[in-house]
């Protein structure tokens, strides 16, 4: 049995880390304690059988990318978010033991400054279909 959520997590990590995003800031699946911004994190991953038949192993996944930026220019957060979107949207991604369709961008949001006045957070959501290979 293939862990499709883990496969998607790894595929998203590789796509961001090897793409423009990885040139801008580190990419994490788990952020090490005391890590300071700027960074990308693979966030929550939700699974839904979608319209699959009961014996079908296909799943529709929703993957969240968290972008954390600290600095005076919120525009840099938006640049980081666009890099992630470009690294993933419609691009083929691969994972051992899984067939993954190219991710489809499902929306984004960016925060206003946090209470410190210089930390911003962006969220990007992507959907994709996954099944065991």
Regions in the chain scoring below 70 on pLDDT? 1, 50-56
- In the CATH scheme, what is the code of domain 4-132? 3.30.2000.10
* pTM of the predicted model as reported, rounded to 2 decimal places: 0.92
Residues 116 and 98 sit within 8 Å (Cβ to Cβ): no
d(CA 68, CA 24): 12
Residue 92 has, within 13 A of its CA and on its CB side, a CA count of 3
pLDDT score recorded for residue 24: 98
Parse the chain into domains and list their residue ranges: 4-132
pLDDT score recorded for residue 86: 97
pLDDT score recorded for residue 99: 95
């Amino acid at each position: 049995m293939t862990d499709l959520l883990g496969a998607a997590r790894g595929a998203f990590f590789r796509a961001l880390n090897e793409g423009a995003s990885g040139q801008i800031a580190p990419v994490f699946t788990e952020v090490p304690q005391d890590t300071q911004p700027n960074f990308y994190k693979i966030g929550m991953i939700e699974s839904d059988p979608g319209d699959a038949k009961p014996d079908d192993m296909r799943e529709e996944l929703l993957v969240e990318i968290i972008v954390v930026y600290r600095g005076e220019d919120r525009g840099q957060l938006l640049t980081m978010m666009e890099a992630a979107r470009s690294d993933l949207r419609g691009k083929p991604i691969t994972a051992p033991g899984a067939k993954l369709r190219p991710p489809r961008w499902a929306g984004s949001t960016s925060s206003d400054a946090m209470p410190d006045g210089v930390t911003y957070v962006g969220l990007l959501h992507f959907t994709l279909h996954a099944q065991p290979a």
